[in-house]
Amino acid sequence: MSRFATLEPQPKDPIFALVDLYQKDENPNKINISVGAYRDENGKPYVLPVVKKAKQILLNDPNANHEYNPMTGVDSFCHNAAKVILGKDSPAIAEERVATIQTVAGTGALKIACEFLKQTKNTPIYISNPTWANHKAIIENTDLEWKEYSYWNQENRNLNIEGLLEDLNNAPDNSTILLHACAHNPTGTDPTREQWKRICEVIKKKNHFTFFDCAYQGFASGDLDNDAWAIRYFIEQGLELIVCQSFSKNMGLYSERAGYIHIVIKPSENASVIAKNVRSHLGGITRAILSNAPNFAVRVVDIILSDPELYKEWNENMKVMSGRIQKMRKMARDKFVELKTPGTWDHIQQQIGMFSYTGLTVKQVECLIEKFSIYMTKNGRMSVAGLNEKNVEYFVKSVDWVVR
Ligand code: PLP
């Protein structure tokens, strides 16, 4: 008898389970709006044209090899990635108080960051209610505790800013607060700049520690700088923080796993020494978990980041993606209005990034799946990238049927 015979199967990941069902579904009108991956106007996966070029350059590079990386990753790659998120003129970078390492995309960054927090701080991590489901799993898997702060106002379908501030105020001093830097998953609703300032004020007053997850830079507004505004503002305010950065979405490198952690140390005389020690500590954690992070995707990323022409083209590619999503939001919202679908639908257009929190109930979503082959998560979140000009009308008419 195997020593593993008593193991029960793990519950299926709800999103990957939906993808399975979608693939088996023979309805020609089926729509997959469950998974957070960009689709082009024909509903197909999209390889960014700039990524195709960068891969060709890498392929032709006679010096490219497969040697091991340092545990912390390649220094120049780390530096270029930090500039994308912290800004090329960031004083934190100039003052060498940023500890950056390469990771296995955003999820790998979150895991290493949690390990680091476990070893250095070991207090509960406050996450938004709701949040990306894997946040809880990663935190639990690191033997840390999570607690929730209010985020969503279901009635008004917008941010519950007063509840959020109250919860941060009531958390014990020096708590860790996990914030989505932009394009909040699943609600598609970010704080305004004024609201970010209020959040920052409470965090400062309570001496909380900020932990930014940035998986969608460029997807919220189509502009990298704009989407990193909150992070840069917090740093400007002198805060010490972690940023987990993913290139999965904004370069469409989902399966290739490119990402970084940046830990920004607050200004002081010995901040750069502290940053060096933090980086070496992060490298030590990486060594014990995966030895060193994979290199193919970050090489592609770095080719794009280090060439001004390719960098410009990347920004244009990102505008194509975020622009198409915004167009789908508007088309869906306009169609709901035209059909006089019960309820308000402006939020579909107002929300930003990849997702929309539709407000549909579990029962309504189940009906969409069973009757119309429209696959979305039970919490009513849809990946707007799954809509296109050919299926948006079918989607809206189906929702209209379901809510009546
Ligand atoms: N954080 C959030 C909020 C996400 O939605 C995702 C992916 O869906 C990630 C992190 C991690 O992305 P990846 O590990 O693919 O880079």
Identify the three-state secondary structure at position 262: strand
251-310, pLDDT tens digit by residue? Answer: 999 999 999 999 999 999 999 999 999 999 999 999 999 999 999 999 999 999 999 999
- The domain at 68-306 falls in which architecture? 3-Layer(aba) Sandwich (3.40)
**Tokens representing residue 9 in the block:** 């199967």
- Nearest residue (by CA) to ligand 1, atom 7, is 215
Question: How far apart (Å, rounded) are the C-alpha atoms in residues 265 and 273?
Answer: 10
Question: How far apart (Å, rounded) are the C-alpha atoms in residues 154 and 141?
Answer: 30
**Tokens representing residue 304 in the block:** 């794009």
Q: What is the pLDDT of residue 155?
A: 87
Identify the three-state secondary structure at position 385: helix
For the chain, the domains span 14-46+322-402, 68-306
Q: Does 11 have pLDDT greater than 90?
A: no
Q: Does 41 have pLDDT greater than 90?
A: yes
- Nearest residue (by CA) to ligand 1, atom 12, is 106
Identify the three-state secondary structure at position 36: coil
Q: What is the pLDDT of residue 10?
A: 87
Q: What is the pLDDT of residue 38?
A: 95
**135 CA → ligand 1 middle, Å:** 9
**341 CA → ligand 1 middle, Å:** 33
> Mean per-residue pLDDT for 333-351?
95
Q: Is the peptide bond before 342 cis (omega within 30 degrees of 0)?
A: no
Which ligand 1 atom lies nearest to the CA of residue 259?
16
Helix count (H) and strand count (E) of the chain?
A: 16, 13
Q: Is the peptide bond before 186 cis (omega within 30 degrees of 0)?
A: yes
**243 CA → ligand 1 middle, Å:** 13
DSSP state of 384: G
**339 CA → ligand 1 middle, Å:** 35
Q: What is the DSSP string of 199-261?
A: HHHHHHHTT-EEEEEES-TTTSSS-HHHHTHHHHHHHHTT--EEEEEE-TTTTT-TTT-EEEE
214-261, pLDDT tens digit by residue? Answer: 999 998 999 999 999 999 999 999 999 999 999 999 999 999 999 999
Classify residue 174 as left (phi > 0), alpha (psi -120 to 50) or beta: left
Is the overall model pTM greater than 0.90, yes or no? Answer: yes
Q: What is the pLDDT of residue 24?
A: 94
Q: What is the pLDDT of residue 15?
A: 84
- As to burial, measured by CB atoms within 10 angstroms (0-12 exposed, 13-18 middle, 19+ buried), residue 159 is buried
Q: What is the pLDDT of residue 249?
A: 96
Question: How far apart (Å, rounded) are the C-alpha atoms in residues 71 and 284?
Answer: 7
**263 CA → ligand 1 middle, Å:** 18
Identify the active-site residue in 111, 132, 314, 335.
132
In this structure, are residues 239 and 266 in contact, taking their beta carbons and an 8 Å threshold? yes
User: What's the half-sphere exposure (Cβ side, CA atoms, 13 Å) at 21?
Assistant: 22
Identify the three-state secondary structure at position 178: strand
Q: ipTM of this predicted complex?
A: 0.99
Q: Which residues line ligand 1 (CB under 6 A)?
A: 36, 105-107, 132, 180, 185, 213, 215, 246, 248, 254, 259
Active site residue 345: no
Classify residue 238 as left (phi > 0), alpha (psi -120 to 50) or beta: left
Which ligand 1 atom lies nearest to the CA of residue 104?
14
Q: What is the pLDDT of residue 197?
A: 98
In the structure, what pLDDT confidence band is assigned to residue 16 with cuts at 50, 70 and 90?
confident
Active site residue 89: no
Active site residue 132: yes
73-105, pLDDT tens digit by residue? Answer: 999 999 999 999 999 999 999 999 999 999 999
Question: How far apart (Å, rounded) are the C-alpha atoms in residues 126 and 368?
Answer: 33
Which ligand 1 atom lies nearest to the CA of residue 36?
8
- As to burial, measured by CB atoms within 10 angstroms (0-12 exposed, 13-18 middle, 19+ buried), residue 191 is buried
**Rounded to the nearest 5°, which phi and psi values hold at 56?**
-65, -40
Strand partners, 91: none
Topology annotation, domain 14-46+322-402: Aspartate Aminotransferase, domain 1 (3.90.1150)
Q: Name the percent of the chain lying above pLDDT 70.
A: 100
